[in-house]
Structure 1
Amino acid sequence: MKTTHASHQAAVLAIIVTSYLMLVVDISIVLTGLPNIQAELGFSHAALSWVQNAYTLTFGGFLLLGARAGDILERRRMFIVGLALFTAASMAIGLAPSPTWLLLGRAIQGIGAAILAPSTLALISIHFAEGHARTRALALYAAAAGVGASLGLVLGGLVAELISWRVGFFINLPIGIALIVGAKRYLVETPLKSGRLDLAGAVSSTLGMGALVFGIVRSAESGWADTTTGLSVVSGLVLLVFFVAHESRALQPILPLHLFTNRERNAAYAARMLFLGGMVGFWFFTTQFLQGVLLYKPLHAGLAFLPTTIPHFIAAMSVPRLTRRFGNARLLAFGLSFCIAGLVWMAGLSELSSYVTGIALPMVLIGIGQGFALGPLTVSAVQGVASEDAGAVSGIVNVAHQVGGSLGLSILVVVFAAGGAADLGAAASLAHHIASTFTASALMLAIALALVLFFIVRPRARYLPA
C-alpha cells in the first residue's frame, strides 16, 4: 500500500538506496586497503581474513533476527537503530589503534548492517505502490548492489593511496547522520506487531559459526593439533547442533526448518554458499596479488577489477532475456562454468604473469559468470515458496550469502598457508600461495555446479517437451 506522498518519494528512495549502498560498499572497501591495514596494525596473513569475516559473520548471523525485529518493533525505528550502530562502529574502526579494536568494530558494524538491511526492502514495499513505482524502486535498489562492490574497491584504493585507509570508514559518519535525519523526516512508521525475538537462535548460530571459522583460520598458523583450534571447532559444531535442535521446537523460529524439505532449494542454498566461498577468495587474494606481486598502488588495484565488474553488469542486465531463451537452470550452469574457467586460468598465476593475460582476461570470464549466476541462483532458492514464507526464505538466501563467504574465506586461508614454496623469493612465494587458493576456489564452484546439474537442471529437463 502506498503511504508516502509523491513529492517525498524521491527523498525516500534516495535514503533507502543510499543506506543499502553504504552496506555493500563496506564489504569491498577494505579489500584494496588490506595491505596497508596489515602493515599499519600488524595483522598476520591468516588474521587479516578476519577484517572481512568479522563483518560478514555478524551480518549473516544476526540477519534473520534483524528481519524479525523489524516485523515486531517497527521498520523505521529499526532502520534508524541499524544506521546509528553501523555509523558509530564505522567511526570506531577509523580510530582503531590495534587489530582487536578494528575487528570488534567490524563485528558491531555487521550487527548494525543485519538490523538495517532487512528494513530497506520492507520500506520500499511500504512507501511504493505495487506496479511501476515499486518496480523502478527495486531496480535502483538492485543496481546499488552491483555498483557498490566496484565503488568500494575504487574508493578504498583511492583513499588508501592518497590519504589513509581509515578515511574509507570516516566517510560513513556524515552519510549516516544525514540518512538518520532524513529517515526521521520522510519515512513512514509501521505499526507494532506481537511476536517473540528468537535470541537463543540468533546467538547460538552466530557464536557457533564464529567459533568454527575461528578454529579453521587458527589452524593455518597453529595447526590442527593445537588445543585452541580443536576446542573452537568442536564448540562451534556443538553450538550449531544446539541451534538446529532449538529451531525445531521454537514457537517462532528465525530459521523455519520446513523450508529445507525441497531438494532444489537446498541445492540452491548449498550452491550459493560454495559460490560465495569461492568468489570471496577471488576478490580477497587478487587484491593481494596485484599489490604484493605486481606492486600496484591501491587505487590502481581497485581499477584493475574493471574487467570483472563491467562484464558482470552487462551480463546481469541480459539475464531476463537469456532466461527466456535458455531457462533459469541452464543459465545458472553456464554462469558457474564461466567462473570456473576464469579461476582455473588464474590458478596458473606466477611472479612472471602479466596483468593482461594472467588477470584481466580471466576476469572477463569471471565477471560474465557472476552476472549470469547470481540472479538465477536466487530464483532457484525461492522456487515454490508459499507467500507467508517469502520473508524467511529471503533471509536464508542472505545468510547463505554472508556465511558462505566467511566459511569459504576461512578455508582458503588454510589453503594459502599450506601452499608453501620455501625455495622461492618473497614475491614468487606469495604468487604461488595465492595461485593455490584459486585452485581451491575453482573446486568449490565445481561442486556447486555439480549440485546445480543434478538437483536443478536435470529434474527440470524431465518436464521439457521433446
Structure 2
Amino acid sequence: MLRTRSPWWVLATAGLAQLMIVLDSTVVTIALPVAQRDLGISETSRGWVITAYALAFGGLLLVGGRLSDRLGLRRAFVVGLVGFAVASVLAGLAPTARLLFAGRAAQGVFAALLAPAGLSIISRTYSQPRERGIAFGVFGAITGAGAATGLLLGGALTEYVSWRWGLLINVPIVVLALVWTALFVPSAPRHAVRIDVGGVLTSVIGLTALVFALSEGAVYGWGSPAVLGCFAVAVVSTVGFVVAHGRVREPLLPFHIVLHRERGASFLAFGLPQVALFGFYLVMTYWFQELLGYSPLLAGAAFVPFAAATAFGSTVLTPRLSTFLQPRTLVICAIVALGLGTLLLVGMDPGGDALFLTRFLPAQLLAGTGLGCALSTAISMATHGVDPSEAGVASAAVNAITQLGGAIGTALLNTIAAMVTAAALGGAEGASTSVADATVDGFDVAMLTATGVLALTAVLVAAVMPRRTQPAPETRPVEIAS
C-alpha cells in the first residue's frame, strides 16, 4: 500500500480527477444540440463529439496503465492532469467541428494516462477491508453520479454562459488537483516494465476500427466495403493482440488479470452495462430537450435524481446489503434494477401527461441505485489483490472496459435509433406518422436493445462469478520513494 498520513486527502485528490474524467464523458451531451447548431455538425456526425473522447480514452488506456507503472503513479498523474487541461482548452475554443473532435480526442489521450494512475493510487492506499469499502464506495459514487452531474453542469453552463465552458471548466479543476497532488499524494517507485509494441498497435487499431464501424454503419451502409473492412480489421487485430501476448515477456495486458474468475466477472459487471448506460443518457437528453422542450438547465436538473440514487446506492445501500448478501447476488440484483430502469423508458407517448413523474423519475431511481451498487462492488473486486508492478495495467483494464463499453454503446444505440427513425419516416409517406413519433420509435428500439444487454450481463455474471467469493490476498506494501 502507499504510506501516507493523509489517506482521505489522497482519495479526494484522485476522486477529483476521476470526477473530471467522468464529467467530460457527459458534460457535452446536454450541450450537444446547441454545439451542433453553432458548428454546423451533421446529424450523423454529432455522436463523434462523445465518441472521439471515449474512443481515444478506451483505445489507449492499456498503454496509459503500463506508462503509469513505468513513470510512477504520481508523475503519471501529474502529466495526465496537465495534458488534459491543455486538450480542454483546445476543444473549448474550437471554431470548427473538426477541431472540436480533435480536442475531445486529445482529452481522451491524456485521460488514458490519468485514470489508471488515479485508480491505482486509491487501490494502493487502502488495503484494510473497511477503509477500502468506504473508498470504493466513494469512487463508485463519483463514477456513477459524476456522469449525471456532468449533465447538470453542462446544462447550467450552456444556458447561462456558453456550451464551451463545459470544456473550459476543466482548467480550474486541474489547478486544484495539482495543488492537492503536491500536498498530499506521496511518490512511489517506478517499475521497470517494457512497453509491448505489438500489443499497443493491435489494440489501438482494433478498437478504433470497431467503434468506427459501429458508429458509421448507418452512414455508409452496413454492407459497404468501408464498414465490413473495419469489422475485418477489428477481428484481425484481436487475433494479433492474442498472438503478440504469447510472444513477449511483459504483455500489454497480462491475461491472468482478466481471466481470474472473480475479477473477470467483475469486469463484465461494470463494463457491459456501460453499453446501455450511455444510450440511457443520450435518449433522455434528447427526450428532455427535443421532445419535451426543456431548456438545457432544466434538462440537466432533470438528471439530479439519477445522481442522487447512484450516490445512495454506492455509499449507503451497498455497505448495508453487503453484510448479508454475497457480492455475486448483490451485483446481479443491481444489474436487474438497472435493466428495469431502462425498460421504463420504452413505450412513452410524447403527448402524455406527467411523463417525468410516471416514467423518468422511477427509471432514474431504479437505474441509479442499481448502477451505484454494481460499480462500488465490482470495481473493488476487480482491483484487489493485484501485484504492485501490475497495478497500473489492472486499473487501466477497469477503465478501458468501462470506456470501450461507453464508446460502443453511444455508437451502437445512436445508430440503431437513427436507423429506426429514418425507416419509420421513409415508410410513412402519405401516412400520419410524425417526426416525433418516428423519433420515439427509434428511442424505443434503442432502449429495448439496452435492456437486452443488461439481461445478458446478469446471466453472464451469474454463470462466471463464484457463489462464494474468497478474500483476495493482501498486496504487499509499496515503499515510498525518497
Same-fold status (TM-score > 0.5): yes
Query: Structure 2 CA distance, aligned partners of 1:39 and 1:274?
Result: 32
The farther-off stretch of 119-128 and 433-442 is 119-128
The alpha-carbon distance between structure 1 residues 453 and 121, as it changes in their structure 2 partners (threshold 3 A), is: closer
Query: Structure 2 CA distance, aligned partners of 1:320 and 1:218?
Result: 42
Q: CA deviation at 1:43?
A: 2.5
Confirm or deny that 1:313 pairs with 2:311: yes
Determine the structure 2 residue equivalent to 1:398. 399
Kept in 2: contact 1:272–1:404 (CA 8 A) = no
Query: Structure 2 CA distance, aligned partners of 1:46 and 1:200?
Result: 33
Kept in 2: contact 1:293–1:428 (CA 8 A) = no
Determine the structure 2 residue equivalent to 1:426. 435
Q: Which amino acid aligns with 1:37?
A: A
The alpha-carbon distance between structure 1 residues 33 and 269, as it changes in their structure 2 partners (threshold 3 A), is: same
The alpha-carbon distance between structure 1 residues 30 and 386, as it changes in their structure 2 partners (threshold 3 A), is: same
Q: CA deviation at 1:188?
A: 3.7
Determine the structure 2 residue equivalent to 1:359. 360
Secondary structure at the counterpart of residue 189 of structure 1: coil
The alpha-carbon distance between structure 1 residues 384 and 268, as it changes in their structure 2 partners (threshold 3 A), is: same
Match of 2:58 among 57, 60, 65: 60
Q: CA deviation at 1:129?
A: 9.3
Determine the structure 2 residue equivalent to 1:245. 243
Unaligned regions of 5+ residues in structure 2, if any?
Answer: 471-482
Determine the structure 1 residue equivalent to 2:86. 88
Determine the structure 2 residue equivalent to 1:347. 346
Query: Structure 2 CA distance, aligned partners of 1:22 and 1:122?
Result: 17
Q: Which amino acid aligns with 1:86?
A: F
Instruction: State the Cα RMSD in Å.
Output: 3.0
Query: Structure 1 CA distance, aligned partners of 2:468 and 2:128?
Result: 34
Aligned residues with identical type, % of pairs:
34
Query: Structure 2 CA distance, aligned partners of 1:168 and 1:225?
Result: 37
Query: Structure 1 CA distance, aligned partners of 2:72 and 2:468?
Result: 44
Higher RCO (Cα < 8 Å, 6 or more apart) = 2
Kept in 1: contact 2:2–2:121 (CA 8 A) = no
Query: Structure 1 CA distance, aligned partners of 2:83 and 2:263?
Result: 33
Determine the structure 1 residue equivalent to 2:374. 373
The farther-off stretch of 325-334 and 100-109 is 325-334
Determine the structure 1 residue equivalent to 2:256. 258
Query: Structure 1 CA distance, aligned partners of 2:8 and 2:457?
Result: 40
Determine the structure 1 residue equivalent to 2:321. 322
Query: Structure 1 CA distance, aligned partners of 2:386 and 2:4?
Result: 30
Q: CA deviation at 1:236?
A: 2.4
The alpha-carbon distance between structure 1 residues 43 and 373, as it changes in their structure 2 partners (threshold 3 A), is: same
Confirm or deny that 1:453 pairs with 2:451: no
Determine the structure 2 residue equivalent to 1:411. 412
Kept in 1: contact 2:339–2:454 (CA 8 A) = yes
The alpha-carbon distance between structure 1 residues 157 and 203, as it changes in their structure 2 partners (threshold 3 A), is: farther
| Aligned ranges 1:30-179 → 2 under 5 Å | 30-124=28-122, 140-179=138-177
Query: Structure 2 CA distance, aligned partners of 1:19 and 1:325?
Result: 33
| Aligned ranges 1:21-36 → 2 under 5 Å | 21-36=19-34
Q: CA deviation at 1:160?
A: 0.8
Query: Structure 2 CA distance, aligned partners of 1:346 and 1:356?
Result: 12
Kept in 2: contact 1:65–1:199 (CA 8 A) = no
The alpha-carbon distance between structure 1 residues 193 and 371, as it changes in their structure 2 partners (threshold 3 A), is: closer
The alpha-carbon distance between structure 1 residues 419 and 151, as it changes in their structure 2 partners (threshold 3 A), is: same
What does the per-residue CA deviation read over 1:209-258, in whole Å, with 9 as the maximum and x for residues that have no partner?
Answer: 11111112111122123222222222222222212211222211121123
Confirm or deny that 1:212 pairs with 2:210: yes
Q: CA deviation at 1:283?
A: 0.9
Q: CA deviation at 1:390?
A: 5.6
The alpha-carbon distance between structure 1 residues 243 and 2, as it changes in their structure 2 partners (threshold 3 A), is: closer
Q: Which amino acid aligns with 2:467?
A: R
Confirm or deny that 1:279 pairs with 2:277: yes
Secondary structure at the counterpart of residue 347 of structure 1: coil
Query: Structure 2 CA distance, aligned partners of 1:189 and 1:313?
Result: 30
Q: CA deviation at 1:264?
A: 5.1
TM-score normalised by L of structure 1: 0.88
The alpha-carbon distance between structure 1 residues 270 and 326, as it changes in their structure 2 partners (threshold 3 A), is: closer
Secondary structure at the counterpart of residue 48 of structure 1: coil
Determine the structure 1 residue equivalent to 2:475. none
The alpha-carbon distance between structure 1 residues 352 and 87, as it changes in their structure 2 partners (threshold 3 A), is: same
Unaligned regions of 5+ residues in structure 1, if any?
Answer: none
Q: CA deviation at 1:191?
A: 3.3
Determine the structure 2 residue equivalent to 1:232. 230
The alpha-carbon distance between structure 1 residues 454 and 178, as it changes in their structure 2 partners (threshold 3 A), is: closer
Kept in 2: contact 1:221–1:417 (CA 8 A) = no
Kept in 2: contact 1:12–1:187 (CA 8 A) = yes
Query: Structure 2 CA distance, aligned partners of 1:433 and 1:223?
Result: 17
What does the per-residue CA deviation read over 1:9-42, in whole Å, with 9 as the maximum and x for residues that have no partner?
Answer: 7765554332222112211211211111222223
Query: Structure 1 CA distance, aligned partners of 2:320 and 2:284?
Result: 32
The farther-off stretch of 282-291 and 387-396 is 387-396
The farther-off stretch of 312-321 and 369-378 is 369-378
Q: Which amino acid aligns with 2:337?
A: F
The alpha-carbon distance between structure 1 residues 274 and 128, as it changes in their structure 2 partners (threshold 3 A), is: closer
More helix by share: 1
Secondary structure at the counterpart of residue 31 of structure 1: coil
What does the per-residue CA deviation read over 1:85-134, in whole Å, with 9 as the maximum and x for residues that have no partner?
Answer: 10000000111122221111111101111111222244457778979888
Determine the structure 1 residue equivalent to 2:480. none
TM-score normalised by L of structure 2: 0.86
Aligned residue pairs, count? 459
